[in-house]
Structure 1
């Protein structure tokens, strides 16, 4: 997710795709709020999900600052289970079990600690609102506080990814402590953003059009990782438009090989001969194509359609907007599957009914490079990417406004990432982070709409911090393009659009080497050390944190706007401490 070159570092960031095209007028949308296969809930919910593949378990929910309300529709006349787990497993977990028998609703707050019946909690903190059976099955409505203050038997529902577990059985229990095992085929887990504000479905303006950029029956080679690129000429628009929604179009059956897709802007003038040009993204040396580095949109596995807020849209159709986009699709094929033909891609929805602000995307984090090093044996190793105060100032002082209004964030790392957060440092004092996800799920990567817009200004620096668990991996992990490599990136969606598109960094490891040309020697040396030794692990984390970094930034104008310096990251003189909640003490 970053495509420019830094000195000896080939930065070409990650993700890939390809593309046919079509621009079609969308009829006025009297939007169907729920997909046709969904049962009808008892009230309107902006968030909903099908929990299982077979369509037997459906969840609807809504939340505010203190409580969350759920409604489950399950195709059973027996008991229904629902819960929250730290790891997606059935235990340990905070669960509820409910059923309807002889017209009476049974519902209890429980917890699991092993492969046996969930234990009834001492404190009943989930509240039943309603329960009944209908033609579909069993319906349960219930609510709870985000923090029930039951530290021993409940789990706090936080911002970020929540691992939701579910189960059901065709029969009612004999009594409250006589639950029959649900069986392997009637249980599961799903990662959800329970506190996310972005609606699952939202009505678009009646004059909205859409434009598809799809691979045209691309024959995927039987290789572990492949990046397929297509240059795409944008449709000629008679006036300025705003992009208001985007979504992935995934060929059924190819979900297991599509890892992520990114649309990049191509600056300057490009000849029409580039339209629909296809190639391996990182084997092409045409300087015009290498200049396609500004992130326009990004999608990764698990991502749902994203609706921009009503006050902002990505501009299209003006002289300052790109005539060409580069669609890059990353295929992840570790089983070396053969015979895959793919026509997946992206769809953008745009309207001539303009919003108040032009939106932009800023890519921040760690440069995608082998010099991002994560040794084995860590329960927690922190990689940090810095967008310097100087880069922010260079861009904001050339912008139409002195500050950025951030409305959404997309965070991205790979398989050993267990958490990621985007931190803000203002003149040395760290303030509340933009976003925190302590339960990162590689298979569930969503663009998250913030509950409240956040302002970034001159004097701010951004830190993308990825928390890696390499305990059982047994070998080094390096930054790179493959899924088995690592990344640490944040894409910040904001308005008004400013010149800068990328702001990244890479550690220089000055405690070990004095010249970038010694990088491979450093890697060879590190691989000889005993990483089971705590002192070795602590020393490497410390040396990485205290290293000088390559600090780089670049505008949408491409490599001609490239700025780089080698320096210590901006100091954090006062770390952020989350205020202690008085919620539990006031109950």
Structure 2
């Protein structure tokens, strides 16, 4: 049954309109000082206070892709002392259609001659096909406003240029430490690039700069990090990572001008700066660590030198970008209860093993850190670790990322996930509840890609148009010397999608030396081999996904430390709770035929990995 538009008297609800009076925990500006929102949520519902510079209608929508098509849109206005709020949906670039079922509860509204404010509430899951479920994934908020109240008969008219889209993490847990002032003894260290002339001969540049830290008197804890992005460069500075360098770092290599990472001009010692300390990405804001955790500096095993890696994205190849962005670390001259660490896990970013085929609506890949590896890495930490925050990372083709957690074959709730991933919004996600990870657990970084508009294979790599599959888990207590766990499959398994190849195997099939046909000849040239595969054939695509899913993996978790063939077998996959009657979609899962073990000598393979990463092969 069609539910008519609901109106309430604004005067009766005027007291409810104030954002302050409702104890809103989150806020965002969608257009400078012209459109902003406050919100709060509980386990079942979410409440919004929306204000825009207009005396007409205000629209706020939830979109799967940032456009009108498929969006769930709420439109409201105040006319003659009455508040009207409508629940609508869009099928394209046209007037949104009134929903059959109205799922918005009006709480109030006002108009003061300059601004219109709407206060409303809705369930996070309405079980209405015309509504968008609000989850822990990235939500693309589309917004619009227009002067002049809508005509009752014709409905809201076109908003012209008063529109936009912004990605927001609506269900970010409220954390008291984010609201607290810094301690009186806190001090800052700035790690800033020094007038970097961003190259204009490539759209992607990774710039590395080294910094000597001050001499600490005892252990100091980093408790907060502020991104410092130069004004006007918000779309250019894509991510910044701080790496710790080993104790034997050559001080003469430190220079504020820096250089292109992994190039001949970069100091050789920078290649050893691989201890991940902190990662920030576009869309992220200042973040404070939990009150009982800090990142240590000043100890015997802590870095005195750091390398800052800045990813610049310059698709227009502009030559006038000169950048001094960086990070500000806030420290206290004392130790909190626990030292924090960061674990980077996922797929080894290397085109020898990691390629994303074209023409897929959904292609899945993953890097695993199996129980065998975890037991070795956590040998000195038998009680396990506690994860308190996660950053999820792919490039442009990525549409979903999960950090999965398996215990004795049973998958536990995702540690973190984003089923609506946005490359341009990669905020560090602090968890509502810390997650205990045991030495006997498996961790899987699981990524989904959409390549239906691509006609060629996408390689793993650092460029924006290349791909990655990584998660960064912030945890405590820190495990000294452990900052990554990266996986990759056997090439000999992956080439089963092709026919007519002649090759010899290296490292028990993890690398192939292709001898024929001649056009594919060479070490590990999967990109060339895959160029001949008919990826437009749906049967071929399905077959390759199965091949990739069942390939034997190796896991690289230390400079010379590997686990081989530790095949994660998920007997009972996790599914998100479903409060509706109809089944819901979850991630594609994989299963194995038990755990295989291989005996492989990896010293030479280590050299090969770093050679490919440096562009030497």
| Aligned 8 A contact 1:71 1:139 in 2 | yes
Out of 314, 336, 348, the position equivalent to 2:295 is 314
Q: Which has the higher contact order (CA 8 A, sep 6+)?
A: 1
Q: Deviations over 1:471-518 (max 9, x none)?
A: 111111010111110000000011111131110011123232633143
Query: Secondary structure of the residue that 1:180 maps to in structure 2?
Result: coil
1: CA distance, partners of 2:43 / 2:263: 49
The aligned residue for residue 126 of structure 1 is 104
What is the RMSD of the two structures over their aligned residues, measured on CA atoms? 2.2
Q: Deviations over 1:149-176 (max 9, x none)?
A: 22x2211111110111111111111226
1:211 aligns with 2:189: yes
Segments of structure 2 that go 5 or more residues without pairing to the other structure are 1-17, 496-502, 514-522, 584-617
2: CA distance, partners of 1:229 / 1:520: 29
Q: Provide TM-score, normalisation by structure 2.
A: 0.83
2: CA distance, partners of 1:64 / 1:244: 28
**CA drift at 1:271:** 4.3
Query: Secondary structure of the residue that 1:109 maps to in structure 2?
Result: strand
| Aligned 8 A contact 1:388 1:462 in 2 | yes
**CA drift at 1:115:** 3.2
The aligned residue for residue 410 of structure 1 is 391
2: CA distance, partners of 1:505 / 1:287: 25
Query: Secondary structure of the residue that 2:491 maps to in structure 1?
Result: coil
1:249 aligns with 2:225: no
Further displaced range: 346-355 or 315-324: 346-355
The aligned residue for residue 382 of structure 1 is 364
The aligned residue for residue 363 of structure 1 is 344
1:158 aligns with 2:158: no
| Aligned 8 A contact 1:223 1:333 in 2 | no
Out of 142, 145, 149, the position equivalent to 1:168 is 145
Q: Provide TM-score, normalisation by structure 1.
A: 0.87
Q: Deviations over 1:388-422 (max 9, x none)?
A: 222211122213x6211111100000001011111
Query: Secondary structure of the residue that 2:361 maps to in structure 1?
Result: coil
**CA drift at 1:522:** 3.4
The aligned residue for residue 32 of structure 1 is none
The aligned residue for residue 33 of structure 1 is none
1:236 aligns with 2:218: no
| Aligned 8 A contact 2:491 2:524 in 1 | no
| Aligned 8 A contact 1:198 1:449 in 2 | no
**CA drift at 1:552:** 0.6
1:170-569 matches, within 5 Å, as: 170-175=147-152, 177-183=154-160, 185-197=161-173, 202-224=180-202, 225-276=204-255, 278-284=258-264, 288-352=269-333, 354-371=335-352, 372-399=354-381, 402-499=383-480, 500-511=482-493, 512=495, 514-515=505-506, 516-518=511-513, 519-554=523-558, 559=559, 562-569=560-567
Q: Deviations over 1:229-282 (max 9, x none)?
A: 111111223232221211211111222322211001112233433333622210
2: CA distance, partners of 1:394 / 1:520: 29
**CA drift at 1:429:** 2.2
Query: Secondary structure of the residue that 2:483 maps to in structure 1?
Result: strand
Change (3 A) 1:465 1:297: same
Q: Deviations over 1:316-360 (max 9, x none)?
A: 222232111110111122222102111011111122364322111
| Aligned 8 A contact 1:41 1:71 in 2 | no
Query: Secondary structure of the residue that 2:540 maps to in structure 1?
Result: helix
1: CA distance, partners of 2:113 / 2:305: 52
Change (3 A) 1:276 1:42: farther
**CA drift at 1:138:** 1.0
| Aligned 8 A contact 2:208 2:307 in 1 | yes
1:88 aligns with 2:70: no
**CA drift at 1:583:** 9.4
| Aligned 8 A contact 1:218 1:341 in 2 | yes
Change (3 A) 1:351 1:177: farther
The aligned residue for residue 39 of structure 2 is 61
Segments of structure 1 that go 5 or more residues without pairing to the other structure are 1-38
1:98 aligns with 2:99: no
1: CA distance, partners of 2:185 / 2:86: 49
Change (3 A) 1:316 1:135: farther
Change (3 A) 1:492 1:234: same
Query: Secondary structure of the residue that 1:115 maps to in structure 2?
Result: coil
1: CA distance, partners of 2:51 / 2:108: 12
Q: Deviations over 1:427-471 (max 9, x none)?
A: 222222111211000111110011211110011111111101111
| Aligned 8 A contact 1:198 1:307 in 2 | no
**CA drift at 1:287:** 5.3
The aligned residue for residue 13 of structure 1 is none
2: CA distance, partners of 1:194 / 1:464: 23
| Aligned 8 A contact 2:209 2:308 in 1 | yes
Number of residue equivalences? 537
**CA drift at 1:374:** 0.8
Change (3 A) 1:46 1:244: farther
Q: Which structure has the bigger radius of gyration?
A: 2
2: CA distance, partners of 1:137 / 1:167: 14
Change (3 A) 1:45 1:355: farther
